Structure 1
């Protein structure tokens, strides 16, 4: 495959060097994103921008940036994000140069100026984790904060899943820095449709050995712009999202130690039905019940649970609480 690229000087690799990766497609906020990256109080990183055959001239935008000589840019002729976002993530990782730590960022998100410095301090104060996680805020197009998320200081895989499956806190890909070694050991990113829930499954897999260490004195800002997959509820998208949700809970049910360490063994199926409830208006009735029937293998009374999730009344909310 033909690739256009622009390669410049990189840092000499040390044990704390981070590969910051931006799988780029949208032009609207990318300069603001770069400004936040190059405002870091620690510059011990290499920055990679993987252009997913964007119809926008991403490289022309980058040429205007004052830190162009600190970038490694590559444009791919084939767009993968539209068919397999995970595969685009993986080819962006393959651009990097063996840095021991990887940070998948985004072309419209922002980071605190002291994120990398706080990460280096965490490595010294609390070494041995495969995943480090920043606090986060969800922002809108104008940068206004819509919600804040903060996780416990240290989490096991099971504790992380308890929080995520109960929707207690939101979690975004850009919050995490992970070990390249552990990334390879788990076989890379899970191949879930639209990469929906792929990050939660990835963190669950990669944290099973060491857990997750939170860095709550620094945060990233995830932008809910209306252009995200999160905001797309079209019928084809909804169907693919539910396929991904099924694969996510299928993995959980296959991990008996993890499943039995959750606060409730029914938590995964309740999460699955909650996802279905948010997407039901984009799916036909036949598709909804086909999805429910497929998940019957995990829960023999799923049809009864489903009624309480799909018909929102005071009585069904009471039923949902006790089923």
Structure 2
């Protein structure tokens, strides 16, 4: 079995479209693993409407939930028998040539363990709202990491963007667990890309659906801050222990270290500002309880300013 395409499923709304896009693949050597996270919605009827032997369907006895969603990602990994694994949301879609594209790149780069799709973001009606930038076909680990430290709409990435070598993913401990999967996709990718780098597709083969039910747009603000702090510690530890293989990698690693604090400060400002934009009176919460979240006065004031401006814009 070449590929395991997995769906850690909870929502019914777009699940049928998601499954259809996978079964429509031009490359046929794959299994589709769907793990129902004890959803209150009727996912079973949707799955059973497809009569395809490549589908393997499981239902969790207890709900992992949004905070522990990575546990369900790793459930999918446990069931996978393919050489390579893709873990995508129950509302996302694959282009019909996605697996063929990955297979071609795998043949071209047999020693690489991580492959990454150029992604198109779509709205709830399936219309394109953003297209990620074209990346160099091959990137070293440090170049791949550095690119993520200058975020903008053209370089966002999601867990479903990636195709992992299954044995390597298991060797590093599976999908890296953080609350709400906040930063889990990036860290997992970096672990698997170490030391052989990453290969990117030139054409969009993954469609990430932006909608109000995604975990990115929901979830407890305090938990997001907790997850951000844990991710920061992972980066600090990783960058301290990582040994660059050449002079160029040394320079890239230095740039990453120089931008680390700024990157995570901006992430915290964004999280807090989003909370304030929804309710400006939350500004007082962050002022009076900043020490509880280990936040500086400057960071809180910057967050408040951004939150108020964002609330006015919307």
**TM value normalised by structure 1:** 0.81
User: Aligned with 1:69: secondary structure?
Assistant: coil
2:145 aligned partner: 161
**TM value normalised by structure 2:** 0.84
1:200 aligned partner: 186
User: Does residue 54 of the first structure (1) align with residue 46 of the second (2)?
Assistant: no
User: Aligned with 1:189: secondary structure?
Assistant: coil
Q: Deviations over 1:16-64 (max 9, x none)?
A: x001111011111111111111111111101111000011111111222
User: Does residue 245 of the first structure (1) align with residue 237 of the second (2)?
Assistant: no
Structure 1 segments (4+ residues) deviating >2 Å: 67-70, 256-260, 262-266, 281-284, 286-293, 303-313
Q: CA deviation at 1:109?
A: 0.6
Cα pair 1:136 1:219 within 8 Å, conserved? yes
User: Does residue 82 of the first structure (1) align with residue 66 of the second (2)?
Assistant: yes
Q: CA deviation at 1:164?
A: 1.6
1:306 aligned partner: 299
In structure 1, the gaps of 5 or more residues are 1-12, 294-302, 314-323
The total of aligned residue pairs comes to 284
Q: CA deviation at 1:308?
A: 7.4
1:271 aligned partner: 263
Q: Deviations over 1:147-182 (max 9, x none)?
A: 111333222222222222211410011011101121
User: Aligned with 1:265: secondary structure?
Assistant: helix
Aligned-partner Cα distance in 2 for 1:128–1:269: 33
In structure 2, the gaps of 5 or more residues are 245-249, 276-281, 307-314
CA RMSD of aligned residues (A): 2.2
User: Aligned with 2:257: secondary structure?
Assistant: coil
Aligned-partner Cα distance in 2 for 1:161–1:287: 33
Q: CA deviation at 1:215?
A: 1.5
2:162 aligned partner: 176
Aligned-partner Cα distance in 1 for 2:113–2:130: 27
Aligned-partner Cα distance in 1 for 2:158–2:76: 18
Cα pair 1:51 1:76 within 8 Å, conserved? yes
